[in-house]
Amino acid sequence: MTVYVKGIVFENVDFDLPRCWSIDQYIQRGGYAALKKIVAEKIAPEAVIEEVKASGLRGRGGAGFPTGLKWTFLPKGYVGQKYLVCNTDEGEPGTFKDRDILAYNPHAVIEGMILAAWATGATVGYNYIHGEIFELYQQFEAAIEEARAAGFLGDNILGSSFSFQLHAHHGYGAYICGEESALLESIEGKKGQPRYKPPFPAVVGLYGKPTIINNTETFASIPWILRNSGQEFQALGKPNSGGTKLFSVSGHVNRPGNYEIPLGTPFAELLDMAGGMRGGKKLKAVIPGGSSAPVLPADIAMNLTMDFDAIAKAGSMLGSGAVIVMDETVCMVKALERLSYFYFEESCGQCTPCREGTGWLYRIVHRIEHGEGRPEDLELLASIGDNIAGRTICALGDAAVLPVRGMLKHFRDEFEYHIANKRCLVG
């Protein structure tokens, strides 16, 4: 279920309309106006980037990096091929927003990429789409064709000298292929394994060429910003958390789904929008930003506003905006076992701490869950985590450690109970 509350990605989208994704509907909603204006007025690429900077838009893929700033990292004065890549690999457990963007408003992504191409000088782009949403990949291809037929995409866009080719590319479902450099390897036809950075993709990216890679929602925000203004976008949210955001709410709520709301909205309001706790149960904990974000207990969550700074201050992260709500029946040991299993299975395996450490973490949690915990296990978990975090090629290592740290910080007693009593505190 997708719910538009207030925002920019799904503004005016009628989710019930079978072809709400099509170009006519998009144009009716004001789509491609930004592109037309920029091409007609020959607005300088620097000015476009300035506008994006002014919007305070931060990457929606998890790391929250300021988008306008990222675009300036392309080598100055570089002549030659540059690429633009959209990351729709969306594999983080709990995150299901990007596929809805492709389902209901793919042209926002396409226009966003064309505008980004104008701003960065990239002439070829790819949208890397998660393998399990094949129909949406096909629909995206159809949308690309529509845009091309309408003269928005391809050679000499809108009769100008500006050209941009966009291709859809689908993966096969490996979570690691959402990591930007693994994604690039995968497009190149290689095994999806992250590259060591530096050099960053902006300097050495796809096929070794400068490449800008952004999340689907990030690109989908660009047309609105340029149609209106950066300032207006910024004003929708909070300082340092400009704009609105899609939150994928899942777990023990009555109406799980995507909610587009201004950044800074209190969590309590979001929980209300999602219909409150299912079966009237008590809220126990919330993972506010996707499975790699540290868990927060109910009392902290209920006083939280949903923006980058507030969540960071509370000791977690906004991440991709996946809000996993857990009620009082959830065993935190079991929950962590599931989370740890995911990272263990999804590690690409190239670097030692992640390849060896994620399995070790999982096995210990698994033992605890199955009544074979040992008193020293909790110290060991923390220590293994310290040996993984910050020492790997990509952030998957950290992503595997953060849930462990969050659980041990807020629910240590449940783990200790499990170890001491070989059974669950909860049920």
Partner 1 sequence: MLEIEIDGKKTTVAPGSTVMDAARALGVHIPHFCYHKKLSIAASCRMCLVEVEKAPKPLPACATPVTAGMVVKTHSNAAVTAQKGVMEFLLINHPLDCPICDQGGECHLQDIAVGYGAGESRYREEKRIVPNKDLGPLITTEMTRCIHCSRCVRFTEEVAGYQELGLAHRGEHSEVMPFLGKTVNSEISGNVIDLCPVGALTSKPFRYTVRAWELSRRKSIAPHDGLGSNLIVQVKNHKVMRVLPLENEAINECWLSDRDRFSYEALNSASRATKPQVKKDGQWIETDWQSALELVAGKLKDTVAAHGRDSVAALATPNSTVEELFMLRKLMAGLGVEQVETRLRAADFRLHTAGATWLGQSIAELAQSDAVLVIGSNIRKEQPLLAQRLRQSAKRGMKLSVLNPARYDLLAPLAGELIVRPDQMVEALLTVLKAACEAAGKTAPAHIDLSSIEVCDASRSIAATLTAHSAILLGNLAAHHPRYAELHAAAAALAELSGAKLGVMSEAANTVGAQLIGAETSGNLFASPKKALILLNAEVQFDCHNATEALAAVRAADFVVALNPFADGVKDYADVILPVAPFTETSGTFVNMEGRAQSFNGVVRPLGETRPAWKVLRVLGNVLGFNGFDYESSEAIRDEALAGDIAPRLSNALKAPVAVKAQAASGLVRLGEVPLYQLDALTRRAPALQATADAAEPALRANAATLAGLSLKAGDSACAAQAGGKALLCVREDTTLPDGVIHIAGSHPLTTGLGGLFAPVTVERAG
Residue 358 is a binding residue for partner 1 (CB under 8 A): yes
Measured CA to CA, the distance from residue 178 to residue 173 in angstroms comes to 9
Residue 248 belongs to what H/E stretch?
Answer: strand 244-251
Cβ neighbors of 182 (< 8 A, separation 6 or more) are 174, 176, 192, 193, 194, 195, 348, 394
Residue 291 is a binding residue for ligand SF4 (CB under 6 A): no
Q: What are the Cα distances from residue 20, in Å, to 91, 104, 221, 276, 307?
A: 25, 6, 18, 29, 29
Of 350, 409, 416, 424, which lies in the binding site for ligand SF4, with binding defined by CB under 6 A? 350
**Which of these ranges, 39-47, 96-104, 287-295, 342-350, lies near ligand SF4 under the rule CB under 6 A?**
342-350
Residue 419 is a binding residue for ligand FMN (CB under 6 A): no
Cβ neighbors of 4 (< 8 A, separation 6 or more) are 10, 11, 13, 15, 260
Residues in 57-96 that interact with ligand FMN by CB under 6 A: 59-63, 65, 87, 89-92
360 binds, among ligand FMN, partner 1, ligand SF4, none (CB under 5 to 8 A by kind): partner 1
Number of residues binding to ligand FMN, judged by CB under 6 A:
24
CA quadruple 124, 125, 131, 135: dihedral positive or negative? Answer: negative
CA atoms within 13 A on the CB side of 385: 22
Residue 363 is a binding residue for partner 1 (CB under 8 A): yes
Contact string (CB under 8 A) for partner 1, positions 387-406, x = contact: x--xxxx-------------
Q: Which is nearer to partner 1, 229 or 387 (CB)?
A: 387
CB of 133 to ligand SF4, least distance (A): 22
Q: What angle do CA 373, 379, 382 make, to 5 degrees?
A: 110
Residue 389 is a binding residue for ligand FMN (CB under 6 A): no
**Which of these ranges, 34-42, 215-223, 298-306, 384-392, lies near partner 1 under the rule CB under 8 A?**
384-392
Q: Which residues of 255-277 are buried (b: 16+ CB within 10 A; e: fewer)?
A: ebbbbbbbbbbbbeebbebbebb
SS3 399: helix
Residue 348 is a binding residue for ligand SF4 (CB under 6 A): yes
Measured CA to CA, the distance from residue 279 to residue 155 in angstroms comes to 56
Of 153, 263, 283, 351, which lies in the binding site for partner 1, with binding defined by CB under 8 A? 351
**Which of these ranges, 89-97, 133-141, 160-168, 388-396, lies near ligand SF4 under the rule CB under 6 A?**
388-396
59 binds, among ligand FMN, partner 1, ligand SF4, none (CB under 5 to 8 A by kind): ligand FMN
Of 213, 246, 311, 354, which lies in the binding site for ligand FMN, with binding defined by CB under 6 A? 213
Rg of the chain over Cα atoms, rounded to whole angstroms, equals: 22
Cis status of the peptide bond prior to 198, with omega within 30 of 0:
yes
Measured CA to CA, the distance from residue 412 to residue 368 in angstroms comes to 12
Residue 214 is a binding residue for partner 1 (CB under 8 A): no
Q: Which is nearer to ligand FMN, 121 or 171 (CB)?
A: 171
Residue 256 is a binding residue for ligand SF4 (CB under 6 A): no
Residue 131 is a binding residue for partner 1 (CB under 8 A): no
CB of 112 to partner 1, least distance (A): 32
111 binds, among ligand FMN, partner 1, ligand SF4, none (CB under 5 to 8 A by kind): none
- Residue pair 56/68 in contact (Cβ under 8 Å)? The answer is no
Helical pair 134-149 and 106-120, crossing angle rounded to 10 deg: 60
Which residues, listed in sequence order, are joined to residue 218 by a DSSP beta bridge?
none
Residue 185 is a binding residue for ligand FMN (CB under 6 A): no
Measured CA to CA, the distance from residue 395 to residue 194 in angstroms comes to 9
Strand 265-266 to strand 83-88: parallel, antiparallel, or no bridges (unpaired)? unpaired
* Residues of the shown chain interacting with ligand SF4 in the complex, contacts defined by CB under 6 A: 176, 194, 347-351, 354-355, 392-394, 396-397
* Residues of the shown chain interacting with partner 1 in the complex, contacts defined by CB under 8 A: 174, 176, 191, 196, 198, 344-360, 363-364, 367, 380, 383, 386-387, 390-393
* Residues of the shown chain interacting with ligand FMN in the complex, contacts defined by CB under 6 A: 59-63, 65, 87, 89-92, 175-176, 178-180, 213-215, 218, 394-396, 399
